[in-house]
Structure 1
């Protein structure tokens, strides 16, 4: 339709873009002249201006500033843009588009490749070759039965109706979706197939496509992409304002979360016992609600007039912002190192050992035998120490039994024994 050349303005010695259309193609020449008149009538900081235009020999020409930093399409092809970058470009293009609408110009081909980047912070709305002038029917060159625009960005009502400024807002909503996610919402194998999806399919929520997005932006984008024009934002500025308000709501939510964390820190220093209980409850509820596999809480204690000495430690197989907040509630010396959980093990059960104790009957001729400690061990009994002096006058330990001389008893109980007692029992009288 047209050819664009890099040229040099001999008067200003600046590089410019020179757009040429042959006058031999009457239809193309008429469209080009319409673009020239529309561009020349608009004076806005983010609309690419016309420096000069006219006819020379058999050519129609338009001179524009040369923009060397590419287009918005180049940026979105590299992936999603940041929330701030998206807000900057949306504000600039929305203001330019709203200005054009106020002057009766409908762009009809809003897409990233028609948004030129002077630098990373400044965008131009360009290419008014398919414009519709609502104030001049003669300048609206739409052929009956033809769809005008680019399928991936066309509003669904264009299948049966003429373009309106709400069609441009739908296209701007597609660009907003693409800046946030890195892709357009609808794809088809052919342009007609792509356009039919605008008619029959609902777009995905941006936060589903890009999980890093705040959910507050979903409602903004989906309203801009409403199938019915009346349900969309009624101006490009309204869409821009809704995006900024959604970002502000997201910022408030983040600030509220941060203040909640700070309140726990104040509570920790003023009321350590309450802070410990609240933190344990918070972490426990978060664990249950998020399905985390928490293993152990330990060493969470506080004394009156002091801070928590070893904070609250949780070992878990998963993490979340809530659990991270409850992980360390701090102490006066800062965050402690994460201690290893205590290792507890249950010893295996020990089977009882039964020892048969033989009964030894002393000979009748022995009146007062003395059983040695060695023979006592031979029968499987422990040596018992006693507090009082034994029959040799020595102190044999800590036993509580009182024994008279000549008492060789080996009992383990607290019974009192008289001389001549040969008991071998474990706690009973013999």
Structure 2
């Protein structure tokens, strides 16, 4: 294999004419062990490998484009000795589905099962998804649905309970190299690319095997005899836009990556994910709102200024617009990533909400209730209230929880940033409260 990929050699030309049809179709795997990049499903200990030893259940194949969902479904039908039927949720209506189910029922009566492959299954509405259930349950079809969207968001719970979800992975660079080698063998010629250009071609495919084979076919079609470098390749090919759907799973994945990078105090990673979202067309106002939430949730009182920085960045964007205003959001992201972190306030709030739910409608102690009428005074409202400003140290130490309720502790400050100072204040109040209780 070393001579085939010697970068100093001229690209050999095939004397055998290539077979007709797109390269991606000609290289479609004929057996499951030829599928690239899904060893966690198709390897010796893979989930699909284990399933093929028994009756094949209905499946949902979830993964990005170009990783083999359609191919795997077709090969599963062959291995399970099922008739393969493919439809797309984009082009299939209710009448079409009825015909598919009726034909499958007749086929089953003649002793042949049906594997129904539904591409983009998440595009069917709830009623259409429910329509599959009786035919799955009585064995008329074995459903294999393919989706690029998170099934837990897009598919009905009833459908999900009757099918096993399998996650397909984005192809890695080693998988792309293997596909490139297979393509060169099929074409009978090595690509006229130097090493960096070859790597760049594979990166351009963005983990999509079908896209890679289309790019390989395009480069091969140039018929170049001299080596092409990375710059020349970039000039001739338009790089594919990174996969990003503002309403889909990638949206939630990237905002999660941004949030966790900020929480993890990594400004470089946080800026990268911010840029990925902006490049994908995300609304900067959405990002400004989420960044402000990060300040409230993950920095909190460790740096009270963080929330102000985010609100100012948000306002700056509203005044400047894109692209200048986006820099203000980027500055806020860097500030948050480098700020001291604390979720003590957030944790205290959640604990207080839980406590409020458990204690029901317990009234406040009477000494902190106002008494605007004689009747209320007679009932003891306001009796014994100690006005904190009248105390020498400005602290009365009275109880403000419902009578009989054991005093809880919700807020536990961290020993970082400004919250370190708040912790010292809190310790003093606890100490003074204990002294007054003894007195």
Calculate the TM-score normalised by the size of structure 2. Answer: 0.23
Which structure is larger by alpha-carbon Rg, 1 or 2? 1
Give 1 or 2: higher strand fraction.
1
Calculate the TM-score normalised by the size of structure 1. Answer: 0.23
